[in-house]
Structure 1
Amino acid sequence: MALNYSIAMMGNPMNLEEAKKAYAKAQVSQELSLKALAKRVSSQTTASRADVTAVIIATVENMIDGLRAGEQVDFGDLGKFRLQITSRGAETAEKFSTANITGVNIQFIPGEDLKNIFAGM
């Protein structure tokens, strides 16, 4: 399977004087909707499309609850999800406060099987 990409000229944000360089940017060919995904899964299992949809929605809701509780959510071969905080530095630990926190992101760590599918692309 070929990886769809385009080429973009981008500068170094850490050094604006540096010449721009060409980088590959992955391109999405289309979107696999929840409805289409549930239809695919239901055709491969004994579960109905409605049941698959319900399970996916409940899984996402439970994942969000787990992340909010500070848990790392492990999806086995798919990978793991956990929260990652970005913050501004403080001179000392005592001077650090929640005001230093600038954002929270979801970090995804792919499982071994998922990492390996990109080896031949």
Structure 2
Amino acid sequence: MIQYKLKEQVNPLDITAPNKYVPVKQKQETLTLRDFAKRISRESTVSSMDAMAVLEGLLQIIPDEILNGKIIKLGDFGTFRSTISAETVDAPENFNVSKIKGLNVRFRPAKEFQKQITNIDYQLVSS
């Protein structure tokens, strides 16, 4: 369940216009890698230490492979891929590597995860 509060916003283009309200997701509990390892241990035959070792290995490999241009597909969870952010040019001969601003990492949920996202419950919390 996602908890949210309503936040009043001023229209920056017209400060005389009536304010509007938008939902803002509330911070909830933060889970650590150790929390995941403990849960994996409770729900399987793998020890917490073994789960932690595998998770740590995964967290070392994923960035390396993304930086090598690979697409990382994690089953029914989703896919990580990189894209380039750069200035546009009017002709190929006007492009050089200095036009590249950086690398972005994108996540796309897999179909099964996307179904879960579309069926989420929301709860308004009082101010």
Q: Is TM-score (shorter-chain normalized) higher than 0.5?
A: yes
TM-score, normalised on structure 2? 0.80
Q: Distance in 2 between matches of 1:105 and 1:76?
A: 21
Which residues of structure 2 form unaligned runs of 5+?
A: 121-127
Quick check: 1:86–1:103 contact (8 Å CA) kept in 2? yes
TM-score, normalised on structure 1? 0.84
Asked if residue 77 in structure 1 is aligned to residue 76 in structure 2, the reply is yes
Q: Distance in 1 between matches of 2:46 and 2:52?
A: 10
RMSD of aligned C-alpha atoms? 1.8
Larger Cα-atom Rg: 2
Residues 77-103 of structure 1, C-alpha deviation per residue, up to 9 Å, x if partnerless?
Answer: 000001122111112121111211122
1 or 2 for the larger relative contact order (CA 8 Å, sep ≥6)? 2
Aligned residues: 116
Quick check: 1:42–1:49 contact (8 Å CA) kept in 2? yes
Q: What's the offset of the Cα at 1:44? A: 0.7
Q: What's the offset of the Cα at 1:7? A: 3.0
Q: Distance in 1 between matches of 2:88 and 2:10?
A: 28
Which residues of structure 1 form unaligned runs of 5+?
A: none
Q: Distance in 1 between matches of 2:10 and 2:86?
A: 25
Q: Distance in 2 between matches of 1:43 and 1:103?
A: 41
**Corresponding residue for residue 3 of structure 1:** 2
